[in-house]
Amino acid sequence: MGTIRIANETIATLAGLASAGIEGVAEMGGGIVEGIAGMLSGKNVVTRGVKVEVDKGEVIADLFLIVEYGYQIPNVAWQVQEAVKESIEAMTDLKVVVVNIYIQGVHLPEEDIDKSLPE
């Protein structure tokens, strides 16, 4: 009948949405270069900080995260890995073999930043 191909951007969107729903994830990382490139190319904000590779029906995902202050980083990372794997496998029938998490920073609440500044 034909073939079905799922774009890497679609898989990245699934990963971004799954990670955004995890408590303790402040935002997706990616840095200034990716931010500027995304604005120029019109790249979807949901896929910021997400890189996926698909080869022979297997997915490798790299996610760059900023974690909320006060959350245990290993727990947040594990929850993101599980959510991303479940989401991609449920919606695409592809096998997720690796979900790498890169913590790029910790988001401090505004009030904590204000308290730490000298007056």
The pLDDT score that the predictor gives to residue 117 is: 57
Task: Spell out the domains of the chain, with CATH numbers in brackets.
Answer: 8-116 (3.30.70.1350)
How far is 78 from 106, CA to CA, in rounded Å?
A: 16
Strands 95-107 and 25-28: unpaired
Question: Could you read off the pLDDT tens digit of each residue along the chain, which spans 119 residues?
Answer: 898 889 999 999 999 999 999 999 999 987 554 544 454 555 557 789 999 999 999 999 999 999 999 999 999 999 999 999 999 999 999 999 999 999 999 999 876 555 665 66
Contacts of 13 (CB under 8 A, 6+ apart): 44, 46, 47
Residue 39 confidence (pLDDT): 47
Instruction: Give the model's pLDDT for residue 51.
Output: 95
pLDDT of 112 reads 58
Q: What pLDDT, on the 0 to 100 scale, is given for residue 29? A: 86
What is the per-residue pLDDT for 23?
96
